[in-house]
Structure 1
Amino acid sequence: MTTTPSPVWHPFTQHGLGEPIPRIERASGARLYDAHGNSWIDAISSWWVTTHGHAHPRIMAAIRDQSEKLDQLIFAGWTHEPAESLAAELVRITPDPLTRVFFSDSGSTSVEVALKMALGYWYNIGEARSRILVLDHSYHGDTIGAMSVGERGVYNRAWQPLLFDVGTIPFPYEGQEQRALDALEAACAGKPAAFIVEPLILGAGGMLVYPAWVLAEMRSICARYGVLFIADEVMTGWGRTGTRFACDQAGVIPDIVCLSKGLTGGAIPLAVTLCIEPIFEAHLSDDRARLFYHSSSYTANPIACAAANANLAIWRDEPVQARIDTLAEIQDAHLAMLAAHPRVANPRRLGTIAALDVTAPDSGYLSGLTPRLTAFYRDRGILLRPLGNSIYVMPPYCTGAEELAQIWGAIAASIDTI
């Protein structure tokens, strides 16, 4: 019997390698299931989005209920209750200066919105500021603007002609924090438009962690020079770093903040970009030429907003923080048991995220270790996707102690075996 090849072109997948692609039929809690009864523990929250667990009953019920009332509505000049309620609650739970909520549909687009807000602000108030500052090794998405403010490398080399120039600040490695801060201050003296940063931890850059005091000092430097501070909390938001938002740990209030992934508990795509009032006011006019020119067809989709409202209700009504704290403690214990392994380097944890590096002859994103490790875990019922020779665990908050033991047992076995 001949199997017809799938026409699907998967993201970040080299189909020429012929690697198996499991077909998942359903999911529940921290587990994924295929049609043959096989299951996998989702140890990376399906690309960092699933917070409370797959198919959470409250979120699923909200989606079903909303789908029977209003499925979609143009959001240019029209509105609906799920979006209004969500925006009001987001303003309530974020610091007071963040007063405006702009909807989009993914982390990348929320970053595009943030960059356009920043540049639109300076343009509309009549100041010639257009340069964007970024942190070395950062990642902010795969659309053109988001790629421009991220690390340059093999994953965006083909589109280099389309990317705009940015100012890059060195990553504040331990012992090199002042070097990074001095570089940021020197760059800010040149009056750039904005500085965009992943607060406390760089995700796709290899789960690189830096301390809260550095984030606070970076914010202070930007404030001194009037540089807009953009916090990309797409991955770090909704509890991943141990608090609802990573900026909370540094007492930092951004001028613009990007949220997505866990905004709906990971159930359905949605993103928002929050900003301070002066940015909104710079676009406010009786002149239609000054309006903010950005949208997508599914901006503030009612079903997605309903899912997000259910997520926020879970945060209000359930002991989410306690679950995060427990998960962090268990992660810490497992990481500590591997920390002394001769092939383990730089063990680190921030909130529910735990990571380590495996010493190998080749490292980096294209390390030959990556596909071997991925296959090793897949064959043992674990969904893990190492970043080069960096292995990280970022599970849903419902993940139990036995499931975590299985995940870390597989990691330990892989280090000894491969």
Structure 2
Amino acid sequence: MKRLTDPVASEKISERDKKHLWHPLTQHKTHPEMLAIAKAKGAVLFDEDGKEYIDGIASWYTCMYGHCNPHILKKVGEQMQQLDQVVFSGFTHEPAVKLSEALIKILPENQQKLFFSDNGSTATEIGIKMALQYHFNTGEKRNVLLAFEEGFHGDTFGAMSVSGLSVYNGPFEDFFISVERIPVPTEENIVDILTQLKNRLEQNDVAGFIYEPLVQGAAAMKVHEANGLDQILALLKEHNVLTIADEVMTGFGKTGKYFASDHITTKPDIICLSKALTAGLVPMGLTTCTEKVYKAFYSDEIAKGLFHGHTYTANPLACAAALAAVELLQTKEIQDNIQNIMQWHQEFDAKIKDHPKVGTTRQLGVIYALDLDIQMERYGNLRDKLFKHFMDNGVFLRPLGNTIYILAPFIISKEQMEKIYLTIQSALEIV
């Protein structure tokens, strides 16, 4: 009997996509085409036509141990046979407990409690709520948050409020919570920042300060110095302002240490985590805090509890993926690979930094960025031209305006990284 072909299934995935799907960070009228990825392995993506692309940004800094990592797949597969999902309100399970025990060993030493959610934006949302409710529960009315200029913390309302990139936030700014911004610290401005902060803190209405430690990702991988940030954090702690480190992007080895906060003496009261937490396999967010923060919610009064919850909070499969990722992070192989990538970046920087079309370069850990010495729109035509050049050459990089950055998986080979470097060099000839 002749088998009938499904006419829908015979269409290309990229064509079927156009019928119903609305993609993030996309103006579909000007960018209607989506590339269909059929599979991925290690540091490589494969599209529906079989073409290969080196994943130079680890799919938004998530798949740091490579796509479809066998160790992580094995651990999650085993967990799928045991427990797939259960409500985390009133219940617990071993994957969540084991993950908490493993994370506490590598988190900054003052962190004691973990609150699960679904993604990076919710992780920061919860951190903001913790800071605001902490003061409410302790009898103080503090309703102002501090944040860095050009920071980015997510797309939910609290996270948008503390973010400083208007390209994302414009239509919603009339609805935000009260936020005041300060510049990132430099050797030149740190004295002025501290003076202004001391005067501002006298009003006693600042609840918390949220910051991306050392690297502002969405602001085009802008790097600031640890010493200045440390002075800001120390001053805020003197005034009982809760400090919230958004390590959604920087966490889990990307800065050369387990967490960017490990580079800084003054540790945060709250840490927000996601992305590489589950190695890119499944969504999960975590907000960790000190015992001091937790105790402000520990009460006979039900209303003093943190009434925030998600259906998939502490999903056992996500916990299994995260635990497997933490195990990999601590292996000698991954730590050696991190050092290798850092060295390769330094060697590339020595070759490229004096190129006439390169303005500035910077590196922290496995994060490398260069600014082209040319003005362009964040999502403009020249940026699109660069993106097309990279993809045509089998390299997946997403320029942020005139900034080209690399944040590849820890398992990337030297040959694959060399191809990324050569493609960036050739891109300089088309701008």
TM-score category of the 2 structures, normalised to the smaller one: over 0.9
What are the equivalent positions in structure 2 for 1:240-251 lying under 5 Å apart?
A: 240-251=254-265
1:158 is displaced (CA, Å) by: 1.2
Instruction: Give 1:95's aligned residue.
Output: 108
- The reply to whether residue 194 of structure 1 matches residue 208 of structure 2 is yes
Question: 1:50–1:174: structure 2 CA closer, same or farther, 3 Å change rule?
Answer: farther
SS in 1 for 2:296: helix
Offset of residue 107 of structure 1: 0.6
Instruction: Give the aligned partner of residue 39 of structure 1.
Output: 52
Whether 1:115 aligns to 2:139 is no
Answer yes or no: is 1:353 the counterpart of 2:364.
no
In the alignment, structure 2 segments of 5+ residues that lack a partner are 1-6
Shift of the 182–29 alpha-carbon distance from structure 1 to 2, 3 Å rule, reads farther
Which of 273, 279, 284 pairs up with 1:270?
284
Determine the structure 2 residue equivalent to 1:377: 390
Moved more, 151-160 or 109-118: 151-160
Segment of structure 1 superposing worse, 315-324 or 53-62 = 315-324
- How many angstroms apart in 1 are the aligned matches of 2:63 and 2:200? 37
- Asked if 1:218 is matched to 2:202, the reply is no
1:85 aligns with 2:104: no
SS at match of 2:167: coil
Scaled by the length of structure 2, the TM-score of the pair is 0.93
Offset, 1:348: 0.6
* Preserved contact between residue 44 and residue 384 of structure 1 (Cα < 8 Å): yes
CA distance in 2, matches of 1:187, 1:23: 51
Aligned counterparts of 1:390 and 1:172: Cα–Cα separation in 2:
21
Q: Of 251, 261, 283, which aligns to 2:275?
A: 261
Aligned residue in 1 for 2:349: 335
Range that drifts further, 274-283 or 38-47: 274-283
Give the corresponding residue for 1:168: 181
Q: Of 280, 290, 298, which residue of structure 2 is paired with 1:284?
A: 298
CA contact (8 A) 1:109 1:143 kept: yes
2:145 equivalent in structure 1: 132
Q: TM-score, normalised by structure 1?
A: 0.96
The 5 Å alignment of 1:12-91 reads 12-91=25-104
Once residues 395 and 376 of structure 2 are traced to their aligned partners in structure 1, the CA distance between those partners, rounded to angstroms, is 24
Which residue does 1:403 correspond to in 2? Answer: 416
Is the contact made by 2:43 and 2:67 (CA closer than 8 Å) also made in structure 1? yes
SS in 2 for 1:319: helix
Unaligned runs of 5+ in 1: none
Deviation string, structure 1 residues 255-285 (Cα, Å, up to 9, x no partner)? 0011111111222111111111122111112
Shift in Å at residue 342 of structure 1? 1.1
Q: Aligned pair in 2 of structure 1 residues 56, 187: CA closer, same or farther (>3 Å)? A: farther
The answer to whether the Cα contact below 8 Å between 2:375 and 2:402 also exists between their aligned partners in 1 is: no
The one-letter code sitting in structure 2 at the alignment partner of 1:128 is K
- Asked whether the 8 Å contact 1:197–1:231 carries over to 2, the reply is yes
Task: Tell me if structure 2 keeps the 8 A contact 1:29–1:55.
Answer: yes
TM-fit CA distance, 1:380: 0.9
- Checking the alignment, whether the CA contact within 8 Å between 2:143 and 2:178 is kept in structure 1 is no
Query: What letter is aligned with 1:290?
Result: K
Residues 172, 179 of structure 1: 8 Å contact kept: no
Given the superposition, is the C-alpha separation of residues 211 and 33 from structure 1 closer, same or farther in structure 2, using an over 3 Å criterion? Answer: same
Total equivalences in the alignment = 417
**Deviation of the 1:70 alpha carbon:** 0.9
Q: CA distance change for structure 1 residues 249 and 270 in 2, over 3 Å: closer, same or farther?
A: same
Deviations 1:340-369 (A, max 9, x none): 111111111111011011122434x24432
Q: Write the letter of the residue equivalent to 1:182.
A: T
The 3-state SS of whatever aligns with 2:19 is coil
Deviation at 1:319, TM superposition (A): 2.8
Shift, 1:308, TM fit:
0.6
Q: Match for 2:252 among 238, 241, 251? A: 238
Q: What residue number does 2:407 align with?
A: 394
SS of 1:147 mapped into structure 2: helix
CA contact (8 A) 2:187 2:228 kept: no
Whole-Å separation in 2 of the counterparts to 1:22 and 1:300? 32
Query: Using a 3 Å threshold, how does the CA distance of structure 1 residues 404 and 168 change in structure 2: closer, same or farther?
Result: same
Asked if the contact 1:170–1:183 (Cα under 8 Å) also holds between the matched residues in 2, the reply is no
Change (3 A) 1:174 1:410: farther
Cα distance in 2 between the residues matched to 1:80 and 1:119: 30
Alpha-carbon distance in structure 2 between the residues aligned to 1:15 and 1:245: 36
